[in-house]
Structure 1
């Protein structure tokens, strides 16, 4: 199928946590024969901080952050069999949704793909006139990158015809074991941008354990942490390009995943970091959220901490041998069950079934209309 995908950015992970997810999903869909054009706005300095060139598995169209440019690329939705508007594009999201869905051909599938369902649902719940909420009944489906049954039920209650989670996963071509690099040496590493919905949890799960264990080395990667008070044993290295993520993951004795507060509360929302770390064969410590055991087995494939004290205790008792064994087990699990190739097969089936159902409905309506005309004659 020919897919028009409107998202934040495929070519830049700069302030764009969905980049890994988009790349893995679209590359895998292309491998199944789908032809994807990804439309991304030139905003937030992302084009100045590209970390990949336009790939050969998708056509990338970058448009200026202007209304005129938005309308021009939205009009190209008319050429597609599937039109996808993602959440959090970052420039005139409501207008973009309206324009691309209006441009889509009647027989095309119309999809909203939510890469931050807790935040989106929090906006929709108290706002019956929200543009997305009004549009839901006219869309063929909503896809989300997590949330499980709570998110599915919430979207159905708001009027969505169908909602399915398509979870984060691993792209083994981009995230895989590599040799350790001394510049990332530490006992515990954490990689994540400074966000309001995460900062308090980073303090509790990373910075406070660091302050309580001055003999251990902590490595902090990600944008926005400059000026944040932290103990002397924390090394802040700023933005880490995606090309260095594998080395960042495998070099420390363990790496930490800290969910945003809304994701942790919703559950069933594994971050891309979970699969990046597992794919590199790293020993991962994660904060607790409901549904972890659907992806990795606690105690054997991942270590789970409910607070900062747990993090400190896990780290103090973690031997290099056990850390390596957990990393190997996690890698085997995600390669076996959680790759983007697996997720793409799920999406491919959904698209095929939805297209067949939509065509059958249109044919039935046409036949009914023809029959009525014949009877009138």
Structure 2
């Protein structure tokens, strides 16, 4: 057990899981930090979209405060930012570039970035898109915690100038994700917000499969799907599932489908939180392929890889219940050992304490904001 840390996190959302994967990622991580006695203040921009869809407005595992704009953030929380053991700024926060500059100017003890969208971030920076992070800001951070690992970390340091790139995958809270014991209702399901670059894969690995197997049942849950999608009659649609309903959703599937965004496939080593959640619920996973996936979940032992429609048809038709159970059990064992919120929070704390040990080499005052 390490000494308790005081951590301030500025993130996209903790209160609302509607249309974003950040909330569930932060919730698992912060519950892990709380379990080990660390103090966390989470600062969230008060925006109408999330304000009207809050499914966790008052968490019991951290302090959650809302701010209306940059001036309000600084006037209300500057002292806490200065005195905290570490300040972590997340990806995709509104006015991210301005907030990073303002927080840097306060000279926090440790300033870190947590990129829950690393492949998307780097693709945006390569296009000159600095929506929430400027390329010049990457060297400001004592650590750049990345949703992606593997080769992406080398790229962050060698190409983008990160002083310390550290993999911090998303995770799952095992107290909230487990098999509910309900009978399977669907042969294959998918949970995810609509994304244009994921849709062709969803068409290939679920919708076309449903057309070929009209006697099987399928489900797609998630918001923002266009009205003109031609859903087969045997595909059920669910507009939105709050996290509390995810375990039941996964438990009622014989298989669940993982579909990865194009930027993340290209980067590799970018596991979606859905992988860990489904595995924790004991649901076998069929996934598209990307580099590094087998290092997390060995192929055919803990996950089924599908490159085309036929692969999914064969999996649904040929994998018997015993093999399904073995695949699901192996994935769950791996996730419970290495990918829980508590495991991830301890990785974060270890990295922050390591920064303290190395602090003599570079003090926060040495950060400079360049134009």
- Relative to the length of structure 1, the TM-score reads 0.88
Bigger relative contact order (CA 8 A; separation at least 6):
2
For 1:171-210, list aligned pairs within 5 A. Answer: 171-180=173-182, 185-210=185-210
The equivalent of 1:368 in structure 2 is none
Match in the other structure for 1:259: 260
Deviation of the 1:126 alpha carbon: 4.5
Question: How far has the Cα of 1:79 moved from its partner?
Answer: 3.2
Unaligned runs of 5+ in 1: 366-377
For 1:101 and 1:174, how far apart are their aligned partners in 2? 36
1:170 counterpart = 2:172: yes
- Per-residue deviation, residues 61-98 of structure 1 (Å, max 9, x unmatched): 1223x443344356342232211111112x21211222
Question: Which structure would you say has the larger Rg?
Answer: 1
Output one character per residue of 1:142-173: Cα deviation in whole Å (capped at 9) or x when no partner. 01112422343234321111101111223211
1:99 aligns with 2:102: yes
Q: Secondary structure at the match of 1:206?
A: helix
CA contact (8 A) 1:147 1:266 kept: no
| Pairing 1:36-55 to 2, within 5 Å after superposition | 36-43=40-47, 45-55=49-59
Name 1:23's counterpart in structure 2. 27
2:122 alignment counterpart: 121
Q: Report deviation, 1:38.
A: 0.5
Question: 1:1-377 maps to which residues of 2 (within 5 A)?
Answer: 1-43=5-47, 45-64=49-68, 66-73=69-76, 75=78, 76-89=80-93, 91-105=94-108, 108-127=109-128, 132-180=134-182, 185-225=185-225, 227=227, 228-359=229-360, 361-362=362-363
Task: Provide closer, same or farther for how the CA distance between residues 48 and 234 of structure 1 changes in structure 2, counting only shifts above 3 A.
Answer: same
- Which segment drifts farther, 49-58 or 78-87? 49-58
**Cα deviation, residue 298, structure 1:** 1.5
Change (3 A) 1:128 1:48: closer
CA distance in 2, matches of 1:52, 1:261: 30
Q: What SS is found at the alignment partner of 2:134?
A: helix
Contact 1:250 / 1:281 at 8 angstroms: preserved in 2? yes
Task: Report if aligned partners of 2:178, 2:280 keep a CA contact under 8 Å in 1.
Answer: yes
The root-mean-square deviation of aligned C-alpha atoms, in Å, is 2.2
Gaps of 5+ in 2: 367-371
Change (3 A) 1:41 1:284: same
Give the SS at the match of 2:100.
Answer: helix
Deviation at 1:29, TM superposition (A): 2.0
Counterpart secondary structure, 1:49: coil
> What is the TM-score normalised by the length of structure 2?
0.90
